[in-house]
Every structure is written in structure tokens, then in C-alpha cells.
Structure 1
């Protein structure tokens, strides 16, 4: 269920609330049981079993199966008999020897399967995470549609859309916060004082249709986009009409190009501009070094400090907040029964990553309302709905733990993973952000 919308048409501004927490009750390891609190899905009295196994100290995997008979193919969206299959990965930060982090493939612009992301990061387990630009024809299908924060590096900004629900984790202590983040970015010429707002981070800019035929984009009178690119995005930056300014690790101009598209080496960044903003970028960058300001704020307008070890992904809709179900009413395919991926926290600080298989006679999936009810029943005081549908995947030790819909596992933009051992920062870090 990856979003196919492109960000330039979306508004940009939002925030984050600190998570509250609730106890997740799980049956003893290795024991299947139909006793205890059952999932609020389908008819009362449906058979339900839970089997839990310990993956490592403080890390368990629970399989919940509710309902016993396969659903008729024509009744997947309406049946009250199920079945449902739910996989629940529970991490107790007080006991687990490892850390949570978000990870993507060789570059941000393309996609990798969740199983591959778990293997390549040396993780014990993980699930798919952010909504991403995925379409069959997309040149950069892995581009996150919303927040993408990796080891303290903002590689994709929040959309500002009211539906976005962001999850941020600090790998130092596995503390999780969630809500809606807002972002502002700008360029400042240290010598001249010229300033230019940034619109996006690592997203291909759009050339205004009225200026598409111009050979010199600086003559365009219609506002375009101003976008900051980092080496993590792709091997080369997006090509096309507009201008591009390449900066070294100190923010000083390395070269200026009259068209877009170049290779960035380690430590370099670039800024692309289209439309009337092309001339504005050249003016701002003229004869000096640029300071890049990038600020994330929470829902109260307080600055969220960004530091090594901070990771963040985007979801769509909060499921629970402070113990209450908060999913809004909605209609259409997104709110209908689908495979779902959930991330949340419990009152005593456990982190839970869960997948609900769907679109199959062996597991029908859940509506948004049902998904929120499952999150609450699992003890998640605060939870977000991550990318779902064909993206919903859980991997344990690099092998599939659930059954994704479709004929093969879908490649995704990024994943939330639990990596054994202490957090260690990545090597390269831009020096020009404030």
C-alpha cells in the first residue's frame, strides 16, 4: 500500500508528541493458548491461539491466529469469521541487548526487500516502515513520502499532511516518540547575508509547466522548487532543466551548473532549483559559502534536537494516543481491509512491531478501525500505522516470518530493525547543517 502521490503537491508543515506507554501481556514462551484477552476481531467466541518464542533476551515473537476456517474468496472484505494471522515482535529495552534503527538499501532512491534490509544491517528482526513513492514507472521509487531520518541525518522532510504520523527512535536507549513533525530549511550566504528557503530534501524538483520550454530556466517568472540533495539519495542527482550548486563539506561552492544532474562525492551536497527560484539560488550562492539550516519541531512548536543515533520513519494515521483509539472516520480502499504494519509502545516501555496478513483467504486483513482495535488490544498505548498492503513484511534473521500478499515479497523504501549489540554511528556526517 505504498503511496503513489508525489510530494510537490502536498502542503509542508507538522510535528511530534511524546509517546505514552502500556503493558503488553504475552503468553509464556513456547506455549500455545486460547486463553486470556482475545483480539477484538470478528464474531465473539472465535477460536484464537497464541504461540510465543524467545528470539533473544528481552525479544519475543508471538503468532496470533484468530478463526479456523478459510474465508470464501468473495467475502474477504466482509466476513466476521476471519481468519486473521498477526505476528507480534516485542522488544523490552530494559532486557534486550541491542538497538532499534531505521535502515534503507545502498541508496535512498531505490527499494530493497525487508528480508534483505534485515540481513544487510545484521539485524535480528524487522518490519517494513515508511510510505514511499513506489510506482512501476517511478525513477526513484524508494523516495520516502514523508519523514526519513537516519542516524541523525534528515534525508526526507515531513510532508505537512494531516494524515502523516511520524515515529522517531533514539538508538542509544530505544526511547520512542511519535506524532507529526514539522520542518523548515533554508540557505544563508555567510558573506552577503542572502537567504533562500528550502522546499524539500532529496526529492526531484518540478519544472513549472509554463517554463518547460525555456532554454534558460533563470528567465522563468513562475516559482519552482528549491531542493537540497545529499550523497545518500542516489549515484547522481536528478537531471533536467534548472540550476544546481554543489557545496563541499563546509558549505562552500564547488561548482555551479546551468542544468541539473551531477555526481556527489562523500562530504558534498548540492542544491537544485527550478522556475524563478533558479535565479534566486544563483544570487544566494554567489561569491560565498552557504550555511544550511534544517529544523524539526514537534506539535508544540518545540525544536527536536537531531543527533547521531536518532532515526525516524513516516506512517499514515495514529492508531492510539495515550491509550485511546484516535483513527478518524474514513472510506475508500485505504480504510478497507488490507495487510497492515503497526509500530507502537507499551506503558512500561516495550516497543512492539506487528504485522497483520491480509487479502488472502487464510488471513483477511483489517480495516483502519480494526487495526486500531488490535493495537489497543495488544496493549499499545501509542501506535502508528506504517506502510501496509503489499509492503507488509516481517523478517526474522533474514527470513520471512509472515506471509506478504502478492506472489512475491515487495521491495520497500526502508525498514525498522532491531540490531543486536550497542549502537554505533555511521562514519560520514555533513558539517554544514545547524
Structure 2
């Protein structure tokens, strides 16, 4: 049985003043009734603390199972996260803290000051995540229609389902639709860039650019060179053969960036795009093919995520391509999530990317025998505690 870190006993004793009290008794030889009563009192408090820590179910739990699915051995690593506990948060992290690039999941978890996480979204060969991302309530990239998204709402409710996004730049008498946010610029489309994209827009084609800071246009530039993106601002860009013809704003204009989401699910704290449905409304809806994955009938390592009816988040990493763990198909992944009482569940990136970090260590066995560097990961935190607040156990279950 593998267990998470228990709180340091000496620390607990010190907090209860037990160590200090007994040292005082020994040094002074004050064996009178008052000191004995105090010692018993603090010792009872200490015992109650230990019992509470051991018996109280913690908000984030990890376990690993050796199971058999359709005659094949599998190792399944599971995080169960009680999102009803307001101390718990789930957050997006990007490699190197920005769009583009690659890092190990364990590095991203550590750099974020966390101890728990898994690999996340699908991404391009350049390390740009694919689809919707909302981070710290700010829209980073627009949603795509091919797959559902996962969102954490303001009250910590988990939403898994379709999300569409629209962005517009508005000033008095003008609404300018934005077609792309923090992604490649296609000709004759408006693109909005923020600093998470990088230091510059990376555009070396004819374009018109408006630098926006504090809701005001502070600079206009017609150029074929990249434009610096301000630390706390934006660049609105349009690539075209005749960029001067697209001049619609002037320096000094007061503008607002209006973002809307459909359906109206409430204030979104964090969100990201998935790789496709596994479980929808309590039913196995896994397809034989997904656009980001390909053929899902082939057994492979998987990272999958789902939510139960009572707002418990379930994350699983299933190892694959090895003797101890063969890997699973999409339909088998859906059945696993149904077995964990998920009413909605979706794919995350899988294959050699599948990685789970718990207590700062990689707990699964990536199929390439080392961590693959990825563009995006998901981390979990439990706020307000100074000791390890997660416990692990390892079970063996045969199916």
C-alpha cells in the first residue's frame, strides 16, 4: 500500500505545545498536578488531530489499480478530486509559461508550485495547444466546434460540453469582429494578441496593427515586421495586401474587448478543449474515429477526464504499449469512466504523452520509458493547508 505524505509528527506536537510542556516538566521537575493535567489535556488534543487527519477523506485522492479488461492486463492511475471543496482548484499551465514550446508535465507542475497534475490538451508540431483555453478567467484562445470542452465555473462546478466563443472590439459607433485570438494570422482577418502569445506578434507580412493598453489605442503601425505586445495589453492585427484600407481605429480611441460564451453556463475560471466525447449524459458514446486522435479502436495509453453527478472530477491515466499494461480503446475508456460514475467524460491527449504526477513524482510509466515534452498540462491544488492534503492507496482489482 502506497501512501501520501503524512504531516510531520514533531510539527504537530510542537503546534500543540506538547514537546515544550514535557521539556519544561523534565527540566524543572515540576511534577505537580497542574502540569500533569495540562500534559494530559494537550496529549488528548494531539491524538484527536491525528485521528482526524487519518480518518477524514481528503479532497484529492490518488490510487493505482492492476486490472484486466477484455483479457488484457492494464495499469490504471486515478485522481478523484472533490470539486465541492472550495479549497480545491484546477488550473491550466503552458510550457515555459507561454504559447508555443514543450516541457515535461512534471516540470510544468513543479514550476507552478504544485504537486499534482496530468498532461492536457492536444497540440500542434510547434507546441500550440488546439482549441479553447480560458486561464484565470481570461480568454486565451477561441473554441473549436469539433469537440467538447471542460470548464471550471466560478462556484467550482465542472461543466463538460460544447462551448462556442465570440470576441469583438468595440468603440462608439463600431463593432469589429475578431476571428482569431493568439494564433496564426490569416489574410483579411482580425487577430487579437496578448502577451501570453509571446513578446511579439511574429508576423512578417504587410499588416495594420493597433497596440491597446488600459482600454485605449496607444499606437498604430503599418508594417511588415513583428509588433511588440505590451505586458498588460494587446495588439489587434490584420494582415492584407493593402493594410491602409483597413484603418478603422485611431490613437486615443477608447475600446472594449467583448467576449461572449455559448451556452450561458456562468462565469468561467478555467477551460480547455478536449479530444472528443467518451461518456455523454451517462452513456458510452465513444466513436471509432476522432479528428484529433484518429482510430480509437486501437489500444493505446490514454489520459481521460470526467465528472460525476455530484461534481467529483475523475482523471485517469491508463498506461500502454508494455507488458504490464496493454492500453485501451476509446470504448473501453468510456466503460472505465462509467464504472467511476461519470456522467460526462472526454479524451485528453494520450499515447506517449500520458503522464500523471502525484506528490511531485511521475506515478505512471509513460510508454516511451520517459516523459514526453508537451505543450499543456493541468494542475490541481488544495489551498489553505500547510501539510500534505492528499493520501494515496494502491489496490489490485481483477475484472
TM-score range, shorter chain: 0.7 to 0.9
Q: What is the alpha-carbon distance in structure 2 between the residues aligned to residue 419 and residue 226 of structure 1?
A: 37
- Stretch deviating more after TM superposition (352-361 or 104-113): 104-113
Q: What is the alpha-carbon distance in structure 1 between the residues aligned to residue 225 and residue 266 of structure 2?
A: 32
Sort the Cα spacing of 1:238 and 1:335 in 2 relative to 1 into closer, same or farther, 3 A: farther
RMSD value, Cα: 2.8
The answer as to 2:140 corresponding to 1:176 is no
Instruction: Output the TM-score relative to the length of structure 2.
Output: 0.75
Sort the Cα spacing of 1:386 and 1:54 in 2 relative to 1 into closer, same or farther, 3 A: farther
Sort the Cα spacing of 1:205 and 1:56 in 2 relative to 1 into closer, same or farther, 3 A: farther
What 5-or-longer segments of structure 2 have no aligned partner?
A: 4-53, 386-399
Sort the Cα spacing of 1:56 and 1:230 in 2 relative to 1 into closer, same or farther, 3 A: farther
| Residue matched to 1:411 | 373
Number of residues paired by the alignment?
A: 330
Alignment of 1:270-289 (within 5 A): 270-275=235-240, 278-279=243-244, 281-285=246-250, 288-289=253-254
Secondary structure class of the residue paired with 1:112:
coil
Match of 1:204 among 184, 191, 196: 184
Alignment of 1:216-255 (within 5 A): 224-243=188-207, 244-255=209-220
- Shift in Å, 1:380: 1.2
Sort the Cα spacing of 1:391 and 1:279 in 2 relative to 1 into closer, same or farther, 3 A: farther
Q: What is the alpha-carbon distance in structure 1 between the residues aligned to residue 350 and residue 56 of structure 2?
A: 24
The answer as to 2:106 corresponding to 1:147 is no
Q: What is the alpha-carbon distance in structure 2 between the residues aligned to residue 286 and residue 276 of structure 1?
A: 22
Match of 1:293 among 258, 263, 285: 258
Secondary structure class of the residue paired with 1:132:
coil
Q: What is the alpha-carbon distance in structure 1 between the residues aligned to residue 132 and residue 368 of structure 2?
A: 27
| Residue matched to 1:322 | 281
| Residue matched to 1:86 | 76
- Shift in Å, 1:166: 0.2
For the 8 Å contact 2:222–2:243, the answer to whether it is kept is no
Q: What is the alpha-carbon distance in structure 1 between the residues aligned to residue 334 and residue 243 of structure 2?
A: 45
Alignment of 1:372-387 (within 5 A): 372-387=334-349
For the 8 Å contact 1:202–1:227, the answer to whether it is kept is yes
Sort the Cα spacing of 1:54 and 1:350 in 2 relative to 1 into closer, same or farther, 3 A: farther
Return the index of the structure with the highest Cα Rg.
2
- Shift in Å, 1:109: 2.4
Secondary structure class of the residue paired with 1:241:
coil
| Residue matched to 1:213 | none
Q: What is the alpha-carbon distance in structure 1 between the residues aligned to residue 329 and residue 319 of structure 2?
A: 12
> By percentage of residues, which structure has more helix?
2
What 5-or-longer segments of structure 1 have no aligned partner?
A: 1-27, 31-52, 68-78, 208-223, 424-434
